[in-house]
Each structure stands twice: as C-alpha cells, then as structure tokens.
Amino acid sequence: MNEFLDRVKFFFSSAEDFLLPFIKQFLTAIGPIVLAAAEQAVIAYAAQNMPGAQKKEGAYNQIVTELQKQGITVAASVVNSAIEAAVASIRSKG
C-alpha cells in the first residue's frame, strides 16, 4: 500500500511541476481579462428584472462572447468562477 501511495504522490508532484508554469501564465495573462468581462456582465445583468438563473446564463453568454472576440477560450468552470468572484466583489463594494 505504501508503494502505491508513493507512486500517487510522485505523479501529482510531477504533474504539479509541469502544470504550474501554465497556471501562473493563465492567471497573470488571461485572468484579469476574464474577471473584467465577468464584472461588466454581472453589472449589466444585476439591474435586469429576471430570475437569478436567467441573469447568470445571460452573464455567462456575454462573457463567453466577449472572450471569443478577443480570441480567448476558457473552460466553463473558469467563467462560472469569474461570475461568482464578480458578484462577491460587487456585493462587498455596495
């Protein structure tokens, strides 16, 4: 059992070493663009008189469209996380 755990630890440490530069690049280069698009979309949909799920879907679609215009493609989970961060940021300011 210890040998298996050692292999798992080795795999994840190797994967982390390999992926960390890409993650850092994403966070420094694309992250602020995604967050800015999310904040604009959340502000635009916050004032709309519609259910929350529709607001989120609209904001999501607006963010994806904006990112596509800039030649950026990100995972749905990144867009959803950016929406949540934008909502939290706006609530903390207001």
Q: Which of 32, 45, 47, 28 is nearest to 85 (CA)?
A: 32
Question: Taking the CA of residue 9 as centre, how many other CA atoms within 13 Å lie in the half-sphere pointing to its CB?
Answer: 6
pLDDT-above-90 percentage for the chain: 46
The mean pLDDT of 4-25, rounded to a whole number, is: 57
Cβ 67 vs Cβ 57: under 8 Å = no
Greatest extent of the chain over all pairs of C-alpha atoms, in Å = 58
pLDDT for the residue 69? 97
The mean pLDDT of 67-75, rounded to a whole number, is: 93
